[in-house]
Amino acid sequence: MGLSIHPITILRALSTSLELSNGPGLSRHHWRTAMISLRIAEQLGIDDWQCQVLVYSALLHDLGASARWEEKRKLFSTEPGYNLRAHAEAGYQLLKNSPQLGMLAEPIRHHHDHWDGSTPNGKTGREIPLLARIINLADRLEVMIREDVGIFEQRPVILKKLHQLSGSHFDPDLLYALDQFAGQEGFWLDLVNPNYYQNFFRNLGEYIWMRFSMDDIINIADIFAKIIDATSSFTATHSRAVAEMSIFLSRIKGYSEEEVKAFHIAGLLHDLGKLAVPNEILEKPGRLTAEEVLIMRQHPYYTYRILEQINGFETIAEWAAYHHETLDGTGYPFRIRGDKLSLGARIVGVADVFTALTEDRPYRTRMSLAQAEKIIRSMVAGQKLDAGVAADLFGQGQEAYLLIQKTYEENKRNLEESKMVGIGG
Ligand SMILES: [Fe+2]
Ligand SMILES: [Fe+2]
Ligand SMILES: [Fe+2]
């Protein structure tokens, strides 16, 4: 496999996972905030590299809110008074130690700091990083765009509201820059034209050399695994444990090291689509209603649709997203049957079930190896899981069991840290 992928390709796809709560289907808050930010930056004459950092930051700017719906819902309010700093700080904490994305941490941390210093714990004026000031203005502009009113009817209203906050919330120089191109109809039409995004991303991809390797992508996927696992206290370290188990099982099957890395990524991201499921459902202690089950079962669909956007991720998307498909064709969301279900997907499927059974949950302690084996064997007999993969697993059952426990212990500390900054459950 040996992938080398442009950062934009990865970030544009992963940023859509941050949108999954905003009403039916996907909205485009992060993409559009990136587009507006870049226009402002170009107007200011910011260099190409800073423009890239700006776009990446804008594409992920609300990642600190994406695990908790309570936080996500606040982001789209145009009413003042919400504490928007918490998710900005949580985003910073998620990114600050990342070798690949650490440069986005500061702009994201300050993307709700008001120019006049009125944001609690925020900076003031030019102390606020320029990229953060730009995202702040772009973000608030984007939030005001309505789908049900013509864009030219909205334009004067939006500009007026933004100007009212110039010097208090926003850097006046940035509003001046915005005014220089706000008269262009094309700017506004691009924002509401769903076919324009493709061109935007293609043009962006052309002028930078940086590429992400498989190892880089593993690190980035790990950040997203933390976010996914923070959606529910029931699954505190689930994604990383599934990743470890997928690595373990793929090595037994003799996959190459590059392929094992792909399993690592597939494991970390297999539940990415859970960001589409409200916490109330993910954390419901009792039985789900029929309607809730349907919502819950959307998650592998979104995992697939997000990952398949990444060129070179065709196999990873399958391995990750088909973990609830079963050999008898009764799985979801695509009802893939028998030999259409690749070995990779079967491995992640077994890894997922084994991990779920052997991790602690708030409502029950972990099962013993023998109990887990019994359940998995009955699922094999019922054509739900692959017999060969299950045989591999229980051939080294004790090791596999210890691996889950080790992952669980290792992640406990990370989880406590993230709880401190408010992304945990
Ligand atoms: Fe935000
Ligand atoms: Fe935002
Ligand atoms: Fe799942």
Torsion of CA 371, 375, 377, 379, to 10 degrees: -170
Residues around ion ligand 2, judged by CB within 5 A, are: 62, 139
Question: Can you say how many angstroms the Cα of residue 369 is from the centroid of all Cα atoms in its chain?
Answer: 32
What is the whole-number distance in angstroms between the Cα of residue 336 and the centre of ligand 2?
A: 37
CATH code, 214-420 = 1.10.3210.10
What is the whole-number distance in angstroms between the Cα of residue 338 and the centre of ligand 2?
A: 43
Which of 78-82, 232-236, 333-337 is the least confident region? 78-82
What is the whole-number distance in angstroms between the Cα of residue 92 and the centre of ligand 3?
A: 27
Residue 25 has pLDDT above 60, yes or no: no
Q: What is the pLDDT of residues 240-274, one digit of tens each?
A: 999 999 999 999 999 999 999 999 999 999 999 99
Q: Do the Cβ atoms of 63 and 227 come closer than 8 Å? A: yes
Three-state DSSP state, 24: coil
What is the whole-number distance in angstroms between the Cα of residue 132 and the centre of ligand 2?
A: 11
Count of C-beta atoms within a 10 Å radius of residue 143: 16
For residue 24, what pLDDT is reported? Answer: 47
361 or 11, higher pLDDT: 11
Q: Do the Cβ atoms of 337 and 308 come closer than 8 Å? A: no
Q: What is the pLDDT of residues 89-98, one digit of tens each?
A: 999 999 999 9
- Smallest-distance ligand from the CA of 65: 1
Question: For all residues of the chain together, what is the average pLDDT?
Answer: 92
For residue 78, what pLDDT is reported? Answer: 67
Q: How confident is the model at residue 26 (pLDDT cuts 50, 70, 90)?
A: low
Phi-psi region at 265: left, alpha or beta (left = phi > 0; alpha = psi -120 to 50): alpha
What is the whole-number distance in angstroms between the Cα of residue 204 and the centre of ligand 1?
A: 23
Whole-angstrom distance, CA of residue 2 vs CA of residue 399? 29
Whole-angstrom distance, CA of residue 416 vs CA of residue 87? 17
Q: What angle do CA 321, 323, 326 make, to 5 degrees?
A: 125
- Smallest-distance ligand from the CA of 333: 3
Whole-angstrom distance, CA of residue 18 vs CA of residue 76? 13
Whole-angstrom distance, CA of residue 194 vs CA of residue 170? 28
Helix then strand then coil, in percent of the chain rounded to 5, is 65, 0, 35
What is the whole-number distance in angstroms between the Cα of residue 323 and the centre of ligand 3?
A: 7
Residue 19 has pLDDT above 90, yes or no: no
Whole-angstrom distance, CA of residue 420 vs CA of residue 194? 39
Whole-angstrom distance, CA of residue 223 vs CA of residue 240? 10
Contacts of 421 (CB under 8 A, 6+ apart): 64, 89, 90, 93
What is the whole-number distance in angstroms between the Cα of residue 19 and the centre of ligand 2?
A: 10
Where do the structural domains in the chain lie, given as residue ranges? 4-205, 214-420
- Smallest-distance ligand from the CA of 58: 2
- Smallest-distance ligand from the CA of 112: 1
Whole-angstrom distance, CA of residue 321 vs CA of residue 140? 34
Whole-angstrom distance, CA of residue 272 vs CA of residue 15? 11
- Smallest-distance ligand from the CA of 231: 3
What is the model's pTM?
0.94
Superfamily of domain 4-205: Hypothetical protein af1432 (1.10.3210.10)
Three-state DSSP state, 170: strand
For residue 170, what pLDDT is reported? Answer: 97
For residue 420, what pLDDT is reported? Answer: 53
Cis omega before residue 129 (within 30°)?
no
- Smallest-distance ligand from the CA of 109: 1
- Distance set, CA 355 to CA 226, 261, 425 (Å): 16, 19, 20
389 or 409, higher pLDDT: 389
What is the whole-number distance in angstroms between the Cα of residue 145 and the centre of ligand 2?
A: 13
Place of tokens 């969301």: 333
- Smallest-distance ligand from the CA of 88: 1
Residue 414 has pLDDT above 70, yes or no: no
For residue 80, what pLDDT is reported? Answer: 64
- Smallest-distance ligand from the CA of 59: 2
Residue 424 has pLDDT above 50, yes or no: no
Overall average pLDDT of the 56-76 stretch: 89
What is the whole-number distance in angstroms between the Cα of residue 267 and the centre of ligand 3?
A: 10
369 or 23, higher pLDDT: 369
Three-state DSSP state, 166: strand
Residue 425 has pLDDT above 70, yes or no: no
Residue 21 has pLDDT above 80, yes or no: no
For residue 360, what pLDDT is reported? Answer: 82
* Encoded tokens for 51: 């423009």
- Containing 213, the helix (H) or strand (E) segment is strand 212-213
What is the whole-number distance in angstroms between the Cα of residue 301 and the centre of ligand 3?
A: 10
Three-state DSSP state, 160: helix
84 or 325, higher pLDDT: 325
Check if 4-205 and 214-420 are the same fold.
Answer: yes
What is the whole-number distance in angstroms between the Cα of residue 389 and the centre of ligand 3?
A: 18
For residue 286, what pLDDT is reported? Answer: 84
For residue 418, what pLDDT is reported? Answer: 58
State percent of the chain over pLDDT 90.
Answer: 78
Question: Can you say how many angstroms the Cα of residue 194 is from the centroid of all Cα atoms in its chain?
Answer: 21
For residue 419, what pLDDT is reported? Answer: 60
Q: Do the Cβ atoms of 37 and 9 come closer than 8 Å? A: no
Place of tokens 């918490």: 86
What is the whole-number distance in angstroms between the Cα of residue 62 and the centre of ligand 2?
A: 5
What is the whole-number distance in angstroms between the Cα of residue 300 and the centre of ligand 3?
A: 6
Overall average pLDDT of the 338-346 stretch: 96
Q: How confident is the model at residue 46 (pLDDT cuts 50, 70, 90)?
A: very high
What is the whole-number distance in angstroms between the Cα of residue 33 and the centre of ligand 2?
A: 7
What is the whole-number distance in angstroms between the Cα of residue 391 and the centre of ligand 1?
A: 47
- Containing 5, the helix (H) or strand (E) segment is strand 4-5
* Encoded tokens for 271: 């539940």
Q: What is the DSSP string of 277-338?
A: S-HHHHT-SSPPPHHHHHHHTTHHHHHHHHHTTSTT-HHHHHHHHTTT--TBS--SSS--BG
Overall average pLDDT of the 150-167 stretch: 97
For residue 129, what pLDDT is reported? Answer: 98
What is the whole-number distance in angstroms between the Cα of residue 178 and the centre of ligand 2?
A: 18
What angle in degrees, to the nearest 10, is found between the helix axes of 172-182 and 151-164? Answer: 160
Overall average pLDDT of the 124-136 stretch: 98
- Smallest-distance ligand from the CA of 18: 2
